[in-house]
Structure 1
């Protein structure tokens, strides 16, 4: 079984990005191979055996010191100023490396990508207490919208923030929040409407150490990971200074970059799909049956051909949409098309990878078995395939159908 944390070769195609992105990727590659790979091996970290908070802090700070961690921040805060296309290529390379630390190199789970858009509306006080500590890898943050009755319908949040004197009192529960077990602070989207029939959402910074703030963790996703948890708020009092932006603009803040964010989930999926393809090619070359490598059999060859073709098609769509966004295009429907097609395609590639590996592919501990479970999740995460289809259809039909 393949239980190694050794990074597989990343994308074999030449990088199409800018000179700056190519140089960044070259430095990243050295960091992944020479620092993170040995660190994972030393501590027994792989995709299903996570790292402690202390070890992750090492990764965050090493990445920060080498200029990677804050890449996605606004340039005024030390960001790299990369185009969407460059960002996609960089992220694809990180996930195609096979590193179990992939979500932490740029701080995607609990770091700068969570606060970059908020910097535009944060007060000077909030910059000092929340934004800058996250940017410096001193604090971890999570973004909490989902609730038991508010998933795809994000505006239906029932967690309440009630004004009380010089602050707010928060009550409710956020569920399935990525990064919650690691967080020092959470961005909580609450209902602030006095009329239950009126939807009004407002965003707040809420520190984990405040009385009435509790994390329920310990459960794992189907991919075996445990960095997801629930946030329970019971009479949690925060100062009014923790309100982010204007009252009633909570969802607007949360979803303000949804088009770009949807697209930027695609390189993670495709990097992982490339890993499944590479493992399948290696297995087809190594595994022998009937006196020859199984790659000599046409049935296996066809699986590999389909995997490579679909990966190339999905990648071309991702990069095309990235260029549209870089050129100033709206790209709303196109980003949903990319998220839909890339997530469905990446899962099909993982499914074929299991088939190519045969018995080895269905045993836990095999990397393709893990990738199968992880890539199945991406069809649900960050907007289900059905929600993407709704968005695409709405953009196509406009106001013709209500």
Structure 2
């Protein structure tokens, strides 16, 4: 890659750190891991933003991260979690992505590990805990979450994958599309319709092991960011034991969306962290690149670009942290978490866009890090709920009669 490594200011814990002392110490250790051992590993294997790591390499990262106490950070404390507040979690994740490491999405297992378990831990039976949940927590197995289908995206309840009870087994048929982490999963959480009446919506959640007959991964495509950790899951007469049902029948969508407010917020630090990398790269280039006898940082046009990037990024970060504090205080700020996801994704993309402009010709060449950041941050306006869906949520909350003050 042609861009420089992250500068110390992009990864160090700043003065006036907003989180706990424990979070600050965690950040120092995890960023040292990313910038040291994992940076060496990436270089040795030719891993970078446009060259996804293999499953074998990822498993090495997962297990090493687990050994160092990072991988299970998000788990409940009885399972080895760190017990961090939402605010601490946000700050830690921001710092991880601000390293610019290609392993940033993997060090906490975000695509295939403990963060994917979510509400499953509370609903899992003891047998499911021993067979699947604990191995995922120990980085021994990878898991993915599969809701999206050709006709079910923003309307998650419209899933057409069918699960039919046949004696003491469920038989699943259908296709899940654009499932993150599916190429290297060992097990998938499948949200399927269990309704016997096609006019009635009833969704349930199932644990489906990849090794079962009728379970197929269909890949062959990359996202616009050039990565290949997304694929389809095709289920053809896939039989699973009835004991693989998670929680109650008909409660699958609630299980999937039960922590939607928190989950929306927890995508924001990735965007903010990546935008920080874009800003740092733009600053470094502006100070290094010379035209007309001086660094281009001396030109007001460049200064204004950088000033706007820094200002908008600070505003997005402030909204993110305020929302995290609201969640820690016990609020359920549905509109605010949607606002955070909307504003952070739109702002982070604008920052990347300006970074490309500052770098000029270098910024539009594949292999330039800001060119990659432009692509990946464009995706965040779609992923985990489009900007339009966030606006719908915000408007719904604003116009809810219980939230409207009459005159």
TM-score relative to the length of structure 2: 0.97
Q: Distance in 1 between matches of 2:200 and 2:301?
A: 58
Aligned residue for 1:68?
Answer: 70
Aligned residue for 2:150?
Answer: 148
The answer to whether the Cα contact below 8 Å between 1:8 and 1:98 also exists between their aligned partners in 2 is no
Match of 1:320 among 315, 319, 322: 322
Q: Distance in 2 between matches of 1:238 and 1:353?
A: 49
Q: Distance in 1 between matches of 2:326 and 2:401?
A: 24
Match of 2:84 among 71, 82, 85: 82
- Secondary structure in 2 aligned to 1:246? coil
Shift of the alpha carbon at 1:16? 1.2
Aligned residue for 1:128?
Answer: 130
The answer to whether the Cα contact below 8 Å between 2:11 and 2:31 also exists between their aligned partners in 1 is no
The 5-angstrom pairing of residues 25-174 of structure 1 reads 25-174=27-176
Aligned residue for 1:19?
Answer: 21
Match of 2:346 among 334, 344, 347: 344
Shift of the alpha carbon at 1:8? 4.0
Whether 2:322 is the aligned partner of 1:331: answer no
CA offsets per residue over residues 7-35 of structure 1, 9 Å max, x none? 44334643210011011111112211221
Whether 2:222 is the aligned partner of 1:188: answer no
Q: Distance in 1 between matches of 2:119 and 2:157?
A: 20
Aligned residue for 2:390?
Answer: 388
Q: Distance in 1 between matches of 2:19 and 2:188?
A: 34
Aligned residue for 1:245?
Answer: 247
CA offsets per residue over residues 64-84 of structure 1, 9 Å max, x none? 000000000011111000000
TM-score relative to the length of structure 1: 0.98
The answer to whether the Cα contact below 8 Å between 1:266 and 1:338 also exists between their aligned partners in 2 is yes
Q: Distance in 1 between matches of 2:402 and 2:262?
A: 26
Q: Distance in 2 between matches of 1:294 and 1:160?
A: 59
Q: Distance in 2 between matches of 1:97 and 1:176?
A: 27
- Secondary structure in 2 aligned to 1:131? helix
More deviation in 28-37 or 357-366? 28-37
Structure 1 unmatched runs, 5+: none
Aligned residue for 1:264?
Answer: 266
CA offsets per residue over residues 275-307 of structure 1, 9 Å max, x none? 000000000000011111011100000000000
The answer to whether the Cα contact below 8 Å between 2:6 and 2:280 also exists between their aligned partners in 1 is no
Q: Aligned-pair RMSD on alpha carbons?
A: 1.2
The answer to whether the Cα contact below 8 Å between 2:179 and 2:232 also exists between their aligned partners in 1 is yes
- Secondary structure in 2 aligned to 1:210? coil
Shift of the alpha carbon at 1:116? 3.6
- Secondary structure in 2 aligned to 1:358? helix
Shift of the alpha carbon at 1:261? 0.5
- Secondary structure in 2 aligned to 1:151? coil
